[in-house]
């Protein structure tokens, strides 16, 4: 299940890491070289190898590898979306609520905006507050447009900015293991995908 997504993510990440290593070698940048070296210790198909910095709803910077240690459901959204993205958040919440309290404690949820130009830290904070997304488990994040494109490619999520400022985009909930490897996904929103929920339960139990 989702083997093609894992293969595509691994190939794309390998290209990014090789590109980053080449740039660092030519620039002689020790800091960047250290980042690449740290990423090399991750599994080859981990999306946590993506060399990028994000900012969360509290204004704190982080890297994807900072999420390492427990399973994560990741997806992408944008605040001004009127229908699909609110439903996406509802589906994420319902999936989370389908777990026991002990299982919920072992799961993180990450939402990255397609729209960093408008979705600043204040907007992300407002979304989290309005939707009552607890900070302990939910991270809403923004990054630069180039990284948005890279992350979407790794997650195999398609999007396009429309002339009116909206985004045409695909939707998916993507489950990562504790090392950032894709182990499952579902395109279903509006209701909990029972098979996907089982994958989440297995992941939080380390199966």
- In 10 A of CB 15, how many CB atoms? 10
- Taking the C-alpha atoms of residue 70 and residue 38, their distance in angstroms, rounded to an integer, is 18
Instruction: Give the HSE-up count for residue 140: Cα atoms under 13 Å, Cβ half-sphere.
Output: 29
Quickly state the pLDDT bin for 8 (edges 50, 70, 90).
low
Do 42 and 49 contact (CB within 8 A), yes or no?
yes
- Which of these, 166, 108, 149, 49, lies nearest to 158 by C-alpha position? 149
Measured over the CA atoms of residue 196, residue 73, residue 188 and residue 103, the dihedral's sign is positive
**pLDDT tens string 59-104:** 999 999 999 999 999 999 999 999 999 999 999 999 999 999 999 9
What total number of domains does the chain contain? 1
Statement: residue 130 has pLDDT above 80: yes
Segment of 8-12, 37-41, 198-202 carrying the highest mean pLDDT: 198-202
Domain that residue 105 falls in: 3-204
Quickly state the pLDDT bin for 44 (edges 50, 70, 90).
confident
| Continuous segment of H or E residues that includes residue 70 | none
The label of the residue with tokens 């009116």 reads: 164
Paired residues of 199 in beta bridges: none
Statement: residue 33 has pLDDT above 90: no
Do 47 and 153 contact (CB within 8 A), yes or no?
no
Do 95 and 196 contact (CB within 8 A), yes or no?
yes
pTM: 0.82
Chain CA centroid to CA 99, Å: 20
Burial 116-130 (b: 16+ CB within 10 A, else e): beebbbebbbebbee
Domain of 115, CATH number, reads 3.40.30.10
- pLDDT, mean over the chain: 86
- In 10 A of CB 163, how many CB atoms? 5
Q: Out of 34-48, 87-101, 177-191, which region has the weakest mean confidence (pLDDT)?
A: 34-48
- Which of these, 109, 114, 46, lies nearest to 74 by C-alpha position? 109
């Amino acid at each position: 299940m989702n083997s093609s997504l894992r293969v595509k993510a691994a190939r794309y990440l390998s290209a990014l890491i090789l590109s980053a290593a080449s740039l660092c070698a030519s620039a002689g940048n020790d800091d960047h070289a250290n980042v690449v070296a740290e990423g090399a210790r991750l599994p080859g198909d981990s999306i946590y190898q993506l060399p990028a910095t994000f900012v969360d709803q509290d204004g704190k910077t982080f890297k994807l590898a900072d999420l390492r240690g427990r399973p994560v459901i990741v997806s992408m959204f944008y605040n001004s979306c009127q229908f699909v993205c609110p439903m996406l958040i509802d589906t994420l919440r319902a999936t989370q609520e389908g777990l026991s309290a002990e299982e919920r404690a072992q799961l993180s949820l990450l939402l990255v905006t397609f729209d960093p130009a408008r979705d600043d830290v204040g907007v992300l904070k407002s979304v989290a507050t309005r939707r009552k997304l607890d900070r302990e488990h939910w991270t809403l994040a923004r990054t630069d447009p180039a990284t948005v494109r890279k992350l979407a490619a790794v997650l195999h999520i398609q999007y396009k900015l429309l002339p009116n400022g909206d985004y045409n985009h695909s939707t998916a909930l993507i489950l990562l293991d504790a090392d950032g490897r894709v182990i499952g996904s579902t395109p279903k929103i509006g209701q909990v995908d029972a098979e996907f929920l089982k994958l989440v339960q297995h992941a939080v139990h380390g199966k």
